[in-house]
Amino acid sequence: MANEYIARDPRTGKVIQTRQKSIEVDIRSLQPIDGAWQRIPVYEILKLAAGDVEYIQLSLTNGGGFVTRVDGIKALSRVYENLIPKAHEILLNALDDDLVEIRIAGLEVMPSFSLKLHTDLMIYLSDRLQDGDDEVELVAMQTLQKMSPVFPSGCEDILRRELRHTDKIHRKNAFDALKVTSVAWPEAGCLHLDELIREEDVDLRRRGSKILRNIAAKGGSTGWDLIGWSLDDEDVQVRRNASQCLVTLANSEPRIALILVENALNEDDTVIRNSVIRAMKKLDMQSPRVTDMILRGARSRNLELRKACISQLSIILTGDRLTESAAELLRQETNPELKKRLAALSIDLALDGTETEKNSFLAPVEKVDDEMGDEFTLPIRPDKPKGEHDKQKASRPNPEDLR
């Protein structure tokens, strides 16, 4: 690849951690929509894209028909390796052409061509996003979505501007681009989200908090901080969006999830509380810290949280501690259903249960195989025949005769 692109942190200039191979971009998704440009002979592409010829007639073996400069521009990524610099020059001219259809064609081929030579393409993309023509800007927004996951630091400034665009269409497109970028490059996603959740504009914080789920598992300590800060946001929708990350964290980073769940345990919002409950059930119930948290939740003023925590008591506690804790909770419980459940847990069936329940705790009686009459039976000597043993048994005195 000519002039290979290296993603860097725009603040420090350090190389951003390389993506996993499983997230490599499919080149087909970066190419223009299928069309006649795919059938242009490679040696004809440059002169057609440059406008040296008005059109070219394709041979019947290539499907026949005519192709124009627009088709030639879309085919620029197909040129031979040694002709890439010339094709790059033609593409830059096309992106700044007076004709709308030529600029659009340049934008359509930009993502696939950028993999071969990306120099200055981001500058032209930025200009076309402010083109003034609605159709050109729409195609430029689509191009940004394709290029941002491939060139996160190259598109960083463009994305930052578009995320804060006053036009709703531009803003929505930018957040869609940030979403796919966060999946491919969690570190790049964290850079933008770190700024967005500090914005005074609540719409930016809400949109940004929706993307937190994409970096929850792979965002590292920076991602955990972003989720924690969003859970403390003054806007309830931001907190709701952040709470959707708790289950993901409980599966991937249970220790971090435990800290966040503890802090959000007293949340009044129903949606957030339900997320907290779902995450809580994913945690290690044998952890003393989880046990204390569930016991604290069982005393909550919120009925749903109490129900969820009380349902876990028999899992985290056993024996005397279970009955004692249930009895203590029963004294302050007001809900009839929970009182009935706690009453059942607070009873020691071995002492206070019915006769059948008490008997179920008794050890079974051992089975005795020998009868009492054989208590004094002398052992048979293996060296004696069976007949002699019978004589020995017959000569044994009768207890009645001894009286």
> For residue range 221-262, what is the model confidence (pLDDT) as tens digits?
999 999 999 999 999 999 999 999 999 999 999 999 999 999
Answer yes or no: is pLDDT of 371 > 60: no
**Type of residue numbered 136:** V
pTM: 0.75
Coil vs helix vs strand at 67: strand
CATH class assigned to 186-283: mainly alpha
CATH 1.25.10 fits domain 1-14+21-184 = yes
d(CA 208, CA 197): 7
Answer yes or no: is pLDDT of 332 > 80: yes
Q: Where in the chain is the domain with CATH 1.25.10.10?
A: 186-283
* Cα dist from 67 to 37, 60, 70, 110, whole Å: 7, 13, 8, 19
- Mean pLDDT throughout 216-223? 91
- Mean pLDDT throughout 95-99? 96
- Given the structure tokens 């009925």, which residue do they identify? 303
- Mean pLDDT throughout 40-65? 92
d(CA 263, CA 232): 9
Answer yes or no: is pLDDT of 337 > 60: yes
> Do the beta carbons of residue 335 and residue 323 sit within 8 Å?
no
Answer yes or no: is pLDDT of 393 > 80: no
Bridge partners of residue 55, in order along the sequence: 68
- Mean pLDDT throughout 97-114? 96
Cα 344 to its chain centre, rounded Å, is 39
Q: Alpha helix locations (H) across 264-378?
A: 270-280, 288-297, 303-310, 313-316, 319-332, 336-346, 349-352, 355-359
Cα atoms found within 13 Å of the Cα of residue 221, Cβ hemisphere only: 0
CB-count burial class (<10 Å; 0-12, 13-18, 19+) for 351: exposed
Greater confidence, 23 or 297? 297
CB-count burial class (<10 Å; 0-12, 13-18, 19+) for 240: buried
**Of the listed ranges 90-94, 97-101, 180-184, 290-294, the one predicted with least confidence:** 290-294
The pLDDT tens digits for 3-28 are 444 555 544 555 555 444 334 456 78
Residue 67 region by backbone torsions, left for phi larger than 0, else alpha for psi between -120 and 50, else beta: beta
Q: What is the DSSP letter of 377?
A: P
The pLDDT tens digits for 280-296 are 889 888 888 888 888 88
Helix (H) or strand (E) run with residue 57 in it: strand 55-57
Show the beta-strand stretches assigned E in 231-294. Answer: none
Greater confidence, 217 or 350? 217
* Residue-level pLDDT at 351: 46
Mean pLDDT estimate for the chain? 84
Percentage of residues of the chain with pLDDT beyond 90: 57
**Of the listed ranges 58-72, 83-97, 224-238, the one predicted with least confidence:** 58-72
Bridge partners of residue 56, in order along the sequence: 67
d(CA 54, CA 392): 129
> Do the beta carbons of residue 155 and residue 148 sit within 8 Å?
yes
